[in-house]
Structure 1
Amino acid sequence: MSYHTFIAPAAAFENLQNPDYRFVDCSYALADKSWGRNEFNKAHIPGAIYADLHDDLSGTITPGVTGRHPLPGKEELVQRLYTFGIDSNTQVVAYDSTAGFMAAARLWWLLKWAGHENVAVLAGGKQAWDEQGFPLTSEIISPAPKVFNANFHDELLADADEVAALVNSGNYNGCLIDSRTADRYAGQNETIDPVAGHIPTAISKPFNAQLNAQGGVADAAVLKEHFAPDFAKGEVIFYCGSGVTAAFNVLLAVHAGYTFPKLYAGSWSEWITDPQRPVA
């Protein structure tokens, strides 16, 4: 059986020794870039490797490539997956230390973009895995490289011009969704980006709104209803601060059964680099 959105800890544990599975720890904290790797070094799922949001799952900011976490270049991503030991036969299980799923969803999205279907996020993250009594280790492995044959789906991406066109249409042809927390959408408590606010016409649907206190995700029927008014408008584009947490909302929408929506990867941190773009 293959998994394409979420996988429960028990199902993942059953495949812990499966050579076709690759567990990837994506733990990361924006406030402390060394935290995730330190957490991985202390305790991780046996056989897991570590993927750093900044170093492994993002590209380099250069002229014309903006936003806080730009996508890695295609060749760069393929090389990274090669060193991770991922090929077309690999079932990837991405997870975070906690249930926020932030960077795990980023890896999930990158693999979907690259044409890899068999990737899922561990429901509840390492926290749920540990709470259910499954093993952790500090032993670090080096996987054998595998050739990853990519088939990139650029139709999953929206750029700033496409977002601007949707804004100028008044969202008549679709829906723009801001995945940041509600306070940042409202221009309050903005401590990350130099400009506060949101893209005009965007609606607020925080990425963590469908998580319970234990990190569980609402069931597919609830998620279906949550996004129903948005997908009824036509094409949906998700964005956030830098294209990371929006990937989790994309994951939720796909889990609910909707057609894969678009991601504005540059997101707010790219949008505000052009003073001609409107801000609400």
Structure 2
Amino acid sequence: MTNSPLISAEELLALRASGARHMVFDCSFDLMNPAAGEEQYRQAHIPGAVYAHLDHDLSDKGTPDASGKYQPHPDAASGGRHPLPGREKFAIWLSSVGFANDMRAVVYDRNGANYCGRLWWMLRWAGHEAVQVLDGGLQAWQAAGGKVASGAEPSHFQSNFELGEPRATLVTTTQIESALGTPKHTIIDARAPQRYRGEVEPLDPVAGHIPGALNRPFTQNMGADGRFKSAAQLRSEFEELLAGRDAASVVHHCGSGVSALPNVIAMEVAGLGRPALYAGSWSEWCGDAKRPVAKGPAAGG
């Protein structure tokens, strides 16, 4: 098994037949209906898959204040609408579902890798290299003849997942601010062009983008078949976007640190290294009125 960020449905079928220790995670979600993903999981999922809920398991949203707005838990690793849980808290959750350090993780969703990429990145951040995204998601699994199960899965025995040195880079708002206007960071925004340009903003209180950020909507990484484009095509597209900028300087972000991950995965597939993530993203950036906001297309765009 390679260390590619992706695994095909056929490769997953072979992995399951081999008896190698692994765990599959279903990360399906819907931002507008947070209960929908788990309901979809109960209707059909890869047998044995554990459901990972974006709001409950992969975020640390804390508790609502008097106005009903959620304040990140003091131990959260980022701000924004989906604050990253601290690494220790994440390790506790992994242990609670029975995931161990000697297992390979395979993550999938029904949403073009929009949500499972979060768990893929978090496992890397926790020091776990053996994790892959099911290319094409549940749809590809079923098309390859993979069976599905319904209802809940039996509970797993508690494990003792141990954190390792981070294998993914997390960038903070302070770091973004301090490097603004310099070549240290090349910021890529994964949101839709209309949100990037500040024409609409359905989720956050301020419209626009971080000054100097480039725009690559995360959906551009997928082909018509719902799978990631070829490595060569992705490399060509990112090199065109970067226009000579150093790929090692790239920091990806989106609205809340979730849909930026397909861009991170795509750059790694393209052989352009392992770029950083600004997990707080636009929702954290625009939370302080003192921070600058840009609107319209990128300079020269």
Task: Give TM-score, length-normalised by structure 2.
Answer: 0.87
Could you say which residue in structure 1 is the equivalent of 2:24?
23
Give runs of ≥4 in structure 1 deviating > 4 Å.
none
Cα deviation for residue 3 of structure 1 reads: 4.0
The one-character-per-residue Cα deviations of 1:49-92 (angstroms, maximum 9, x if unpaired) are 10000000011233775300010112110001112222221110
Which of 131, 142, 147 does residue 130 from structure 1 map onto? 142
Which of 225, 230, 252 does residue 266 from structure 2 map onto? 252
User: What is the root-mean-square deviation in Å for CA atoms of aligned residues?
Assistant: 1.8
1:88 aligns with 2:98: no
The one-character-per-residue Cα deviations of 1:142-163 (angstroms, maximum 9, x if unpaired) are 2222221112428701111221
Could you say which residue in structure 1 is the equivalent of 2:217?
206
Moved more, 232-241 or 201-210: 232-241
**Secondary structure at the counterpart of residue 92 of structure 1:** strand
Could you say which residue in structure 1 is the equivalent of 2:39?
38
Could you say which residue in structure 2 is the equivalent of 1:62?
72
**Secondary structure at the counterpart of residue 208 of structure 1:** helix
* Identical aligned residues as a percent: 38
For 1:155 and 1:45, how far apart are their aligned partners in 2?
27
Cα deviation for residue 202 of structure 1 reads: 0.3
Contact 1:5 1:119 in 2 (8 A): yes
**Uncovered stretches (5+) of structure 1, i.e. residues with no partner:** none
1:112 aligns with 2:124: yes
5 Å-filtered alignment, 1:1-280, equals 1-17=1-17, 18-60=19-61, 61-62=71-72, 66-98=79-111, 100-139=112-151, 140-153=153-166, 156-169=169-182, 172-229=183-240, 230=242, 232-234=244-246, 235-280=249-294
For 1:191 and 1:259, how far apart are their aligned partners in 2?
32
**Secondary structure at the counterpart of residue 164 of structure 2:** coil
Contact 2:21 2:103 in 1 (8 A): yes
**Uncovered stretches (5+) of structure 2, i.e. residues with no partner:** 62-70, 295-301
Contact 1:221 1:256 in 2 (8 A): yes
For 2:170 and 2:243, how far apart are their aligned partners in 1?
17
Number of aligned residue pairs: 277
Moved more, 47-56 or 146-155: 146-155
For 2:165 and 2:83, how far apart are their aligned partners in 1?
16
